[in-house]
Amino acid sequence: MKFLFDDESFSFETLRATGYIAYAGADLGEVLVTCRQIPETDEDAWSTQWAATAARIEGIGRDALAAGHRVSAREALLRASNYYRAADFYRRDDPEHDPESARLAKAAQQTFADAAPLLDTPTRALNIPYEDTTLPAYLFLVDDSGTPRPTVLFHGGFDSILEESYFAIAVGALRRGYNVLAFDGPGQGAPLRAGLRFRPDWETVVTPALDLARSLPEVDNDKIALIGMSMGGYLAARAAAYEHRLAACVLYDGIYDLHEPFAAIAAEAASTPGGLDAVIARNTGASWVVRNGKWTFGLPTFAEVVEATKAYTMAGITDRITCPTLVLDAENDQFFRGQPQRVFDELTCEKELIFFREDEGAGEHCHEGALFLFHQRTFDWLDTILST
């Protein structure tokens, strides 16, 4: 689905940012005036223009907050957080030493943190004990009654951040009576910037998050579901294969083998005159994958990243998942086409596969731009599973 840009990566990331309009994370006019100032494939202009829009909208939020306009402040700060996230997306040449990348990431976190107390439902920032440190989390509650409720554990994937989880899953869950404990793990958000890199054995991340969730009086311990987004579709499946206290799991979307798309870029580079440099010079998406991969896996070369991704596979362990599992698939998925079906075929637990089509506006990776349809199908399934 081409959206505002011909470049596939720019189009997808614009659709992603714009899709959060469903839950007050964007406004269409702001997106349009931002994107019309960004030339195709110009990553510097992308960052500059999204950052300028974010700062302008943050200013509106700060002024509204100072004047006591709670709703206006909340709405502006939420949009600013999403726009700051977008502004930082392509700044991956050397993010560890890029002060602008660090500033944008911090601004995305801070604007959301300042919006959180203004939400209509209770929100608490928490820290999940993890090895010798902690992982940041938000607990989104339906209300302040203390009533134990079905609860979603949620994490993202290769590039998402904790603050994005509010738009991606939390609002839709809260409206349906689910609490949400969302968190960043190694390789994601603030933990990544603190030096924690991805690891394939994601049960070591989900288990302490689940332990914390089960200790909260607002959580019904018999009705905790895990949802993983994008690369999180592998991470959640891997965790569910070894963590059997989950009542359900949703792979959003299903991933069987993370190595395949990375190996495809390496193979293209091997067959292209000029090698990897030539591939990334002409392909924005491949360039971003290469750079983001080196950062999130903590490896100096893309060849080492490709090798590391071999460990991220469900081969031989899919049948260890025992909880009911929903696998989501997207017709036009540019990263993992065909993989959700492979995961589904090897599952031996109670299972369902839902295919999202292009002609219903939901065919992109993770159904960006179709949040309402994604939430309707996912939570209707969870309602049925957790009511039994």
Active-site positions? 230
Who contacts 303 (Cβ-Cβ below 8 Å, separation ≥6)?
266
Helix (H) or strand (E) holding 371: helix 371-386
Q: Which of 366, 345, 155 is nearest to 253 (CA)?
A: 366
Name the token pair of 367.
Answer: 């159904």
Pairing of strands 133-140, 179-183: antiparallel
Distance CA 122, CA 259 (A): 40
Pairing of strands 133-140, 248-252: unpaired
**Cα radius of gyration (the chain):** 20
Helix (H) or strand (E) holding 381: helix 371-386
Distance CA 160, CA 10 (A): 16
Name the token pair of 174.
Answer: 């809260």
Helix (H) or strand (E) holding 292: helix 284-297
Name the token pair of 140.
Answer: 């989104």
Is the distance from CB of 203 to CB of 366 less than 8 angstroms? Answer: no
Name the token pair of 115.
Answer: 């919006």
Q: How far is CA 172 from CA 224, 231, 291, in A?
A: 16, 21, 32
Cis previous bond, 114, omega within 30: no
Is the distance from CB of 371 to CB of 19 less than 8 angstroms? Answer: yes
**Long-range own/partner contacts, residues 140-145 (CB < 8 A, 24 or more apart):** 140/166, 140/170, 140/173, 140/174, 140/179, 140/180, 140/181, 140/182, 141/174, 141/179, 141/218, 142/174, 142/177, 142/178, 142/179
